Amino acid sequence: MVLTRPTAVLDVASADRRGTIHLIGQCAIEGPNRTAGGWGTDTWALLGLLAEHRTSLLSKALAGDKLWPEAGAQSDRFAGLLKATRAKMCDALGMPGNYGRVVIQFKGGTGYRINPDLYGCDVWQIRDLLAAAAVATGSEKTAALTAAVDLYTGTYLPDVPHPWAWETADALNRGIVQALAQLADLEAQPELEIGYLERATELDGVAEHLYRRRMEVYARLGRPQAVHYCYDELREQLRARGRKPSSKTEQLYRVIADSV
C-alpha cells in the first residue's frame, strides 16, 4: 500500500503554518494546533540528532548508539521513542497521530529526517542567519547577526546528557559569542558596544580578549568602577579553572587603572 500525503498535511504546508522544534533554552514542539514540552530527555535527544542531520539521514543504528551507548535492545527502544515523538509532532500540527511517517520521514530504506516542509527548527534558523551574515555586508550583516543572537535564548539541547549534545551546544555557543563580538565591532555607540561585549562574556567567561575590550570601552565611557569589576570578574572565572589572567590582560588593566 502506498502512503499518500493527507489533505491536512497539504493544508498546513500551503498555508505556511509549519511547526517549529525548539531545542534552544526551553525545549518544545510548537505548531498551529498547540505548543507542548516537558517530555523526557530521550525525545529531545532524538530531535536533536535529527536536527543535526538536516541535510543527511539519521540511521537507526547511529541513533541507538548516540541515545543509549551502553544499553541493549536499542532497536525496540528506538521504535517506541520514534512512534511517540512522531505522535507529538502530529498533535502540534493538528494531524492524526497515524501520519507520523509524514512528519519524520524514512527515506530510501536508509534513515530518518524531519520533514522540512512541515517543521523548522530554531537551531537551523540561527545557523542560516550566521551563514548569511558571513557573506553579507553593512546593514544586512548587522540585521542577520542581530536576529541570530536574539534567537539564542539559552543553551542548545539543555539537559540532554550526552557528550555529542555538549559538543554541539559548545560549538553553537562559540558561534554566538563570535556574532556578538562582530556586532560590537560594527557598533559606533560605545554604550551599545559594551552591551554586546557583556553578553559575550556571559556566554564565554574566560574569553580574555573580550574582557580586555570591555575594560577599554569602560575606560572610554569614564566608568573606572566598571573596569575594576570587569577585571575581578575575569580573575574569578579563571581562578575557578585553575588559571590566572595573562600578562597582556594584567598590563592593560594596570595601564587603565592608573589613568582613570
Q: Is the pLDDT of residue 252 over 70?
A: yes
76 has a pLDDT exceeding 50 = yes
Buried b (16+ CB within 10 A) or exposed e, 139-160: eebbebbbbbbebbeebbbeeb
Quote the pLDDT of residue 181.
98
Nearest to 29 by CA among 106, 112, 103: 103
Alpha-carbon distances of 129 from 52, 57, 176, rounded to whole Å: 16, 23, 11
> Is 231's pLDDT higher than 90?
yes
Estimate to the nearest angstrom the gap between the alpha carbon of 138 and the chain centroid. 25
Band of residue 256 on the pLDDT scale cut at 50, 70, 90: very high
Q: What average pLDDT does this structure show over 29-44?
A: 87
> Is residue 53 packed enough to be buried (19+ CB in 10 Å), middle (13-18) or exposed (0-12)?
middle
Residue 3 DSSP class = P
Distance CA 40, CA 159 (A): 10
Degrees to nearest 5, angle at CA 72 with 71 and 73:
130
pLDDT at 36: 79
Checking if the pLDDT of 2 tops 50, the result is no
pLDDT at 1: 32
**40-53 mean pLDDT:** 96
> Looking at residues 110-118, what average pLDDT do you find?
97
CA 205 to CA 201: how far, in whole Å? 5
**What structural domains does the chain harbor?**
7-121 (1.10.10.10), 122-259 (1.25.40.10)
List the Cα angle 49/83/116 in 5-degree steps.
50
Phi, psi of 228 (to 5 degrees): -65, -40
Output the nine-digit C-alpha cell for 122.
Answer: 530554531
The three cell numbers locating residue 123: 537551531
Between strands 19-22 and 28-30, the pairing is antiparallel
Mean model confidence pLDDT for the chain = 91
Residues 204-229 have pLDDT tens digits of 999 999 999 999 999 999 999 999 99
Mean of the pLDDT values across residues 149-161?
Answer: 96
pTM higher than the cut 0.85 = yes
- The three state secondary structure string of 109-171 is CCEEEECCCCEEEHHHHHHHHHHHHHHCCHHHHHHHHHHHHHHCCCCECCCCCCHHHHHHHHH
Which neighbouring-strand residues pair with 120? 20
Q: pLDDT exceeding 90 applies to what percent of the chain? A: 82
- H or E segment and range at residue 36: strand 35-37
